């Protein structure tokens, strides 16, 4: 996750219905995978 639980942000904030922390982390993973895929395909 892009935050430090219970140090910067409490669990209640991270896990609230309004929180975008978890979806943003998932987006970050997909973005990194896509970039890596494009780099590897470009090396062929």
* Tens of pLDDT, residues 4-37: 788 888 989 888 999 988 888 889 999 999 999 9
Residue 5 lies in a domain: no
The per-residue pLDDT for 22 is 84
Residue 35 lies in a domain: yes
Residue 16 lies in a domain: yes
Residue 33 lies in a domain: yes
Q: Tell me the residue range of the domain where 28 lies.
A: 11-42
Residue 3 lies in a domain: no
pTM exceeding the 0.75 threshold for the entire prediction: no
> How many structural domains are present in the chain?
1
Which residue is associated with the tokens 């409490």?
Answer: 10
SS3 string, the chain, reads CCCCECCCECHHHHCCCCCCHHHHHHHHHHHHHHHHHHHHHHCC
Residue 36 lies in a domain: yes
Selected residue with higher pLDDT from 41 and 5: 41
Residue 4 lies in a domain: no
CA distance 5 to 21: 11
The per-residue pLDDT for 2 is 65
């Amino acid at each position: 996750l892009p935050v430090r639980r219970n140090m910067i942000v409490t669990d209640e904030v991270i896990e609230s219905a309004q929180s975008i922390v978890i979806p943003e982390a998932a987006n970050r993973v997909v973005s990194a995978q896509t970039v890596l895929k494009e780099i590897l395909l470009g090396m062929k």
